[in-house]
Structure 1
Amino acid sequence: MRARTVAPLAALVLGGCLASKQDVFLLQNQLSTMQVASARADSARAAQMRMVLEQLVQSNDSMRAVGSRLAKLQSTVATDHYEMGRQILQIQELTGQSQRRLQELRASLEERNQMAAAPAPVAPSSGPVDTTSRPAPGGPGPAQLFQSSLDQLRRGSSTVARRGFEELLRSYPTSEDAPEAMVYIAETYAAERNQVAADSVYGLVVQRYPSSPKAATALYKHALSLRAAGRTTAARAAFDRIVKDYPRSDEAALAREQLRTLGR
């Protein structure tokens, strides 16, 4: 009877022991499987991270290359703008020299014409001497007035130069030298640091002689004065007007460069 009771108990104990070992074995297998899966996932994530890092490195290299090319392009554009401005200034200087030389020739020609038109001296006569006054020879022509006034301005005599240019405008208001004479009047004021008067005269040049090439010159000088005074908005408007109203002038090219530096 006792043997019969012990046998089932032993079987149960042995069965319980066997079940526990099997569970442990299964658990070990599951752990191994999870470890393998985790290792594979870690490997995949590591591969993805390496790929992302490689792409970032490539992107950074590309951005640096683009930045380098952009910097070179900006440098090239700036150099081109500077060179263009320098060439324009050279052309203006050469043009100014040619105009000054032409002005000198015109003044000389006017002087010769006046000398040729002067009355010839009257031979002495045995009769009574006519003491009545004769008309004085004509005054200097516009070219002579312009040249003599310009010479005074170059010597630093701005007041004397201004008087000469003003006389030219009074005596020869329709002369081809009138617009440039008015520009120089403005420059005499600028030389005296009277920029308000200079800007006013620059405005008169544009108002009275809008179709003259000197209108663009006056407007450009006025725009530079505005920019120097810190009136950026007004300066930008003046530069825009030059580009719009005088697109083929040398000043238009200079105005475009000014607008670029102002961040149009």
Structure 2
Amino acid sequence: MSLSRSLVATAACVWLAGCVATPPEEDPVVQKLTELDGRLLRIERVLTNQSLLDLSQRIAAAQDEARVLRGRLDELQHELGKTQEQQREMYGDVDRRLARLEGVNAGAAGGRTSASGLPVPQGDDRANYQAAFDLLKDGKYPEAIRGFGQFLKTFPDSALADNAQYWLGEAHYVTKQYTEAMRNFHKVLDDYPNSRKTPDALLKIGYCAYELKNWNEARAALGQVVQRFGDTTAARLANQRLAKMDGEGR
């Protein structure tokens, strides 16, 4: 009996010794875990590479779209520049065409004003308005100033009085008499609040203030043009002058 027990005990010890002596790399459990860990790493690499590929494709697509948009922006800026140039060229002619559409008949001024100051002493308000306007158009500014000034004294209730007041201010403006020009443009706003000349008069007030270096007053007047008359040539010109002031740090 004692011999049998000894043999069993000896066999058990040999088995246990064999389990302990098995290297980890040969252990089935360790091998399985190593295999699973390797598979997991391979899956993670695939997912990472796919994410980088997707990101790279998105970046390339965004860059292509940006190039297309930049090209379109350049085209639009070029078109805008041409449009603004055309508007500037047309702006000086707008009132002359409006005057003709209003049916103003020219009077025989002969390029001079009479002693009374009226270009056409015997003419009506329309004849004298057109004669004074022609003097302005021809660059005869002192004569135009006298003509429009006398027109406003002689025909204060004329339907053309607001236009005459505006052009009187314009004649002073082009001769760089900015203070007097501003006074006349203000009279357009004060005396003829419903005049079609209001946006232009307000714009020129801003211009006069700019020339006189009254920056706050210039910004206030130009800002009103933009706010009150947004879809007009006057508003676009006001925006341009405001942008110029921004560039100058005014």
Summarize deviations over 1:29-86 as a string: whole Å, max 9, x none.
Answer: 4443333223222212211212211221232233334434543554455456555545
User: Shift in Å at residue 242 of structure 1?
Assistant: 2.0
Residue type of the partner of 1:168?
F
User: Shift in Å at residue 204 of structure 1?
Assistant: 1.6
Q: 1:148 to 1:88 in 2, by over 3 A?
A: same
Contact 1:179 1:209 in 2 (8 A): yes
Give SS of 1:106's match.
coil
Summarize deviations over 1:192-222 as a string: whole Å, max 9, x none.
Answer: 4343432332222123223332223223333
**Aligned counterpart in structure 1 of residue 181 of structure 2, from 198, 208, 232:** 198
Moved more, 50-59 or 65-74: 65-74
2:23 is aligned with 1:36: no
2:48 is aligned with 1:61: no
Q: Percent of aligned pairs with the same residue?
A: 16
Match of 2:151 in 1: 168
User: Shift in Å at residue 18 of structure 1?
Assistant: 1.5
Q: TM-score, normalised by structure 1?
A: 0.62
The runs of 5 or more residues in structure 2 that have no matched partner are: 111-119, 244-250
Distance 1:62 1:227 in 2: 48
Distance 1:93 1:149 in 2: 16
Residue type of the partner of 1:54?
L
Give SS of 2:31's match.
helix
Match of 1:116 in 2: none
Q: TM-score, normalised by structure 2?
A: 0.65
Residue type of the partner of 1:177?
L
User: Shift in Å at residue 235 of structure 1?
Assistant: 2.0
Summarize deviations over 1:149-180 as a string: whole Å, max 9, x none.
Answer: 44544565544432221111101112233222
Distance 2:123 2:8 in 1: 149
Distance 2:158 2:79 in 1: 39
Give SS of 1:107's match.
coil
2:202 is aligned with 1:219: yes
Q: 1:221 to 1:199 in 2, by over 3 A?
A: same
Match of 2:223 in 1: 236
Match of 1:177 in 2: 160
Match of 2:44 in 1: 45
Give SS of 1:210's match.
coil
